[in-house]
Structure formats: C-alpha cells, structure tokens
Amino acid sequence: MSETMHTPAVPAAQRPGTPALPEDLIDVDALLAAYTDRVPDPSDPAQKVVFGTSGHRGSSLKTSFNDAHIAAITQAIVEYRAAQGITGPVLVGKDTHALSAPAQDTCVQVLLANDVPVMVDSRGGYTPTPAVSHAILHLNAGRDLTPAGFSADGDNAGLADGIVITPSHNPPSDGGLKYNPPHGGPADTDATGWIARRANELLTARLDGVRRLAPEEVEGHPRLDGFDFLDRYVSDLPKVLDMDAIREAGVRIGADPMGGASVDYWAEIGARHGLELTVVNPEVDPRFGFMTLDWDGKIRMDCSSPNAMASLIERMTPDAEGNAPFDVATGNDADADRHGIVTPDGGLMNPNHFLAVAIDYLYRNRSQWPQAAGVGKTLVSSSMIDRVAESLDRELVEVPVGFKWFVPGLLTGSGVFGGEESAGASFVTLDGEPWTTDKDGMLLCLLAAEIIAVTGRSPSELYRDLEALHGSPVYARIDAPATAEQKARLKELSPEDVTVTELAGETILAALTNAPGNSAPIGGLKVVTQNAWFAARPSGTEDVYKIYAESFLGADHLAQVQAEAQRIVDAVIG
C-alpha cells in the first residue's frame, strides 16, 4: 500500500524574493472581525496609541489597531484642531490595506458626529498620501502656513487638514493612521504627542467623550462632501515635471503600484499625458498575494527592497539582444509616498543613489529655483549627497530623521528639495511653489522618466558618473542590542560624551547630537570623519539601536566603522 509523500513546507523566512504562497497570506475575514471585536487594554503599552514618525500603526490581531483606537484618535484630532482654531474640512484618504476601509468608516463617523466637515474621494477610490498633501495645499492656497502664520493664536478659520489611513509599506495585517495639519506635511511631535495622550485618555475612559454617528447616518450627511484627489493631482503634474519632454521622448515606463493606492493614478497619468506607460500590475488584493517575500519572509510593499521588488526586477532583465521592456520601471508602496527605480543597466537603484542623481539633475535643470535654496537630506542619508551639493555650490541642510523637518523649507521655497534614505522625497514646482509637503513616490518615479527624456541616459548611468567624480560609498544599516535604559541614554547624549578621537583610522571631525541644518536633536549620535560616518539611533519598538554607516574607502573599511561604532556607543550608554 503506497503512502502519499508530503514535502515539508519551506519556512517563509527562507524564501525571500520568491512569490508568496497560500500559507503566507492573511485571513482577511479574521482581520476584519478582530478590528471590531477586540477592545484594547490601555494599561498594556503594546495596545496603546503610539505615534511614530509616520503616525499610529498596528494590527487588529494584536489589538493595536482596532475600532476603539481609531475612534479615540479621531476624537483627539477633533479636539486638537478645535484648540488650534482650524475650522475647514478634514480630507480623509485611505490605501488598499484591509483595515483601511473600516478605519475610514470609523474616522468619518466620529468627525461628522463632532460637526466637522469631511471630504473623501469623490470617485470612491484609494488616495495616495501625496495626493492628500497636494490637495491640502491647493485648498489652503494663499494662506500663510508657516509656523509664523499658523499657530493657535492665529487666524486658522477655514483651513483644511487631512487624515491618511495607511501603514505605508507594512505587511497586509497592519493598519495605520497619520495626521497632516494645514501645512500638508506630517504633524510635528508636539501635535502627535498631544493627540496620542488624549487618545489614550479616551481609551482608558472606555471611549467616554467620543462622539460618533451610527453607520446609517453617514450617507447624505450635510457635512460630508467629495473631493477629486486624482484629477487635482494628475492635472497639476505639468507644474512640477516636464511632462512634454517625457511624452516627446517616448520614454517607456513600467509602473508597478504594488497593489497600492497609486493604481488608478498611474493609469490616468499615462492616458491624460499621452505617455508610453504600462501599469504592470493593476491588481488590488488586500492579501497582497502577488508580492514576493521580503528579506524576513514577510509580505511587505517596500519598493526599496530587492526582495519585495524581485518580480519587477526580473521583468526588467534585458533579453539576449540587450532589450528591456521599459526604459524605466517603477514601484510604489501602498500609500505611494515612497519610490523604487529599476533601470535596464542597473537593476533596482539604492535609494541613496537615486536621491543623489535626482539632486544633481534638478538643481542643474530648474532655472527658476532660488539660487540660495539648499539641499535637504536626513542625517542618515548618503554623504554622496554632501559631495553633490558642494559641487553644485549649494548649502547642505542636514536634518533629523523624519520628513516633517523639510516642511518649512518646502513651504517657503528656502528648501526646494527634501529627501531621506528610506526612498522618500519631494520637491517644489518648476516655478518654486510648494507641490507636496509630504513624501511623493509618484513624483520621484516620474522624475526618473524626465531625467531619461532630457539627458538620454539612465539614472544608473548618471550615478556612475557621480561615483567617478566623488568616489564610491558603501552604505549599510545594522542593529545592536540595547536595554530600554540604554536607549534612553542614547537619546540624551551630548557631543562631549564621545572622548575617542579616531574612527576606523581616521580623525573624528565631528560628533553630533543635534542636526547641523536646524539644530534639532537627532535622538542619538552621529560621528563624522573625512571618508566615513556612522549614526546611532534607538529603535522605538525593539530592544536594539540602529547603526547607519557609510564609507568611501570600501566594504572592509565600512565593517571596521560599524564595529568601532558599536564599541563607541556601548561605552557611552553603559
């Protein structure tokens, strides 16, 4: 009698870059049931509202993103904006994660019950983060949105703000919510700290104090209106990009929305502007079952990850004759605030590499941009950007991690570009006006096409030119163990705590605990030499600190920098 042989399943963690299998997919019904059925315990830190650099994130299955969380956060936002005198509409957008739709329902019910005007997508579709930011700036045009003009004491009546329901590139089981004030960018820590504290008070009070409509009271509500986010964004693209050049050059674009909110935007961009643009995967699936697994075996819509982007990279591989299907292929995460650039001659570009190329191109080809405007980067982005900025004779404006630090410059034109190493960036229009004050992945993807159209060369080729001029940096991030007490000490360091004078054989030129560009605390430490640097920052969710490091002297030197960085940090945090 024969027996059926069963091949043991290979663990997902051992299958990075391979297509997801049925056992890797979430149970959507269970996820949605948990959203309403599970009630968070605010005495458990893992179930409280916590705003990171991109809002509150969690999973209903872990009781960290549930109906009660969203009701409490939304009520807190209502009270915050009332205290600020903001009386205009709240623009509410959502991405394609399974938890985003019910979270939007909760959010809208609470806003309307508080007599707050609400605008949702008039097409009933998904809304990328940059489309919300762009719409906020459009509705608030002509108003002073800088810190000097916008304050609790100022005239904020009629100003619009926004809520985007997205966990960005996080796995399908996750949900997220972030608040964008009237300046259109990410809320600062004062705002998010206040909102989180108030939300947790409401959770502790079992939502006593939360006003909310019944679901059947929403449709037809006089304070509920629609806004055509897609039309506003797509129509305005010629203000920020040379769309004529892209069309006339016939640049072949393969755009992969990665199952996210940009799916209808890419189709409309191609049709309306007459581009040779193919949406390579128009499928929307809350399980994201078409994805390839990320480095740890999880499904993650990270357009900067070679594993998550494996199918698009493979598709771009030139044939035996050297022909690729597209001149550039692009990817976006679920809310389209990040970009991934794939070229036939270089594969998936490192985000730092593309940022350097983008900066070099933009500052040489945007003649109306102010000559005094600096180059904005986060302090953990590549020093290749520093060298490019110097070659352009532009001031380098180095800020802490978080896109919120770029908002003032993008609003005023004093900072025409802001980028971070995690593949997030935005820049101003052709005439120097604000475009978005949040990251815009679609914009950077289209910029890659403009670069090809104008220069006739791929961004990968242009980066090799920059290496020939400025050297070839090697960049990496690692994690090192740390207790909660050690992480707290790391956040409070001063430059004087670093007593060593050399790093990996080079003299230390600077030890920084405040960002050079705006003097804001970096929440960690950065050490700089002539040809290398490292930055150490505590993780907000794990018992580790993160070491970002780079060397222009090769991989062996980078490894030495990383090892010595850990010894330096461990010595000062105890």
Indicate which CATH number applies to the domain containing 340.
Answer: 3.40.120.10
Report the distance separating Cα 197 and Cα 84, nearest Å: 17
Cα gap 36→410, rounded to integer Å: 39
Asked, for residue 7, whether it belongs to a domain, the answer is no
Regarding whether 437 and 531 lie in a shared domain, the answer is no
Phi and psi, residue 219, nearest 5°: -60, 130
The reply to whether 124 falls in a domain is yes
Task: Mark whether 336 and 404 lie in a shared domain.
Answer: yes
Pick left, alpha or beta for residue 186 (phi over 0 → left; psi -120 to 50 → alpha; otherwise beta).
Answer: beta
Place of tokens 């697994």: 293
In terms of domains, do 45 and 132 share one? yes
- Residue 480 CB neighbour total at 10 angstroms: 16
Residue 6 lies in a domain: no
Query: What single-letter DSSP state applies at residue 292?
Result: B
> Residue 238 falls within a domain, yes or no?
no
Q: Domain boundary at 231, 258, 280, which?
A: 231
Domain count, the chain: 3
Q: Please check whether residue 13 lies inside any domain of the structure.
A: no
Same domain, 351 and 437: yes
545, containing H or E segment:
strand 544-551
- Looking at 446, 470, 494, the residue that finishes a domain is 470
Residue 142 Rama label (left phi>0; alpha psi -120 to 50; beta): left
Place of tokens 């815009």: 440
For residues 269 and 213, state if they share a domain. Answer: no
386, 516 Cβ separation under 8 angstroms: no
Question: 376 — phi, psi (to 5°)?
Answer: -90, 130
- Give domain status of residue 418, yes or no: yes
Looking at the structure, tell me whether residues 209 and 125 fall in a common domain.
Answer: yes
Nearest Cα neighbor of 210 from 220, 198, 222, 218 is 198
Q: Helix (H, G, I), strand (E, B), or coil: what is residue 59?
A: strand
487 and 466 in a common domain: no
Helical ranges in 39-119 per DSSP H: 67-83, 100-113
Based on the fold, state whether residues 194 and 271 are members of the same structural domain: no
Q: Could you list the active site residues? A: 168
309 found inside a domain:
yes
* Amino acid residing at 397: V
Does 521 lie in the same domain as 398? no
CA-nearest of 474, 465, 383, 477 to 422 is 477
Name, in order, each residue with C-beta under 8 angstroms of 34's C-beta and a sequence gap of 6 or more: 60, 61, 63, 66
Are the C-beta atoms of residues 254 and 148 closer than 8 Å to each other?
no
What residue ranges of the chain have pLDDT lower than 70? Answer: 1-8, 152, 541
- DSSP-derived letter for residue 415 is E
What does the block give as tokens for 182? 């009237």
Q: Tell me the CATH number at 554.
A: 3.30.310.50
Beta carbons of 290 and 259 less than 8 angstroms apart: yes
One domain for residues 214 and 169 = yes
- Using DSSP bridges, classify how beta strands 415-420 and 424-427 pair: parallel, antiparallel or unpaired: antiparallel
Contact 116, 90 (CB under 8 A): yes
One domain for residues 462 and 480: no
pLDDT given for residue 441 in this prediction: 98
Residue 18 located in a structural domain: no
Looking at 178, 204, 231, the residue that finishes a domain is: 231
For residue 272, give the 3-state DSSP assignment.
helix
Whether 261 and 218 share a structural domain? no
Q: In which domain, by residue range, is 395 found?
A: 244-470
Distance, in Å, from the CA atom of 401 to the CA atom of 523, rounded to the nearest integer, reads: 9
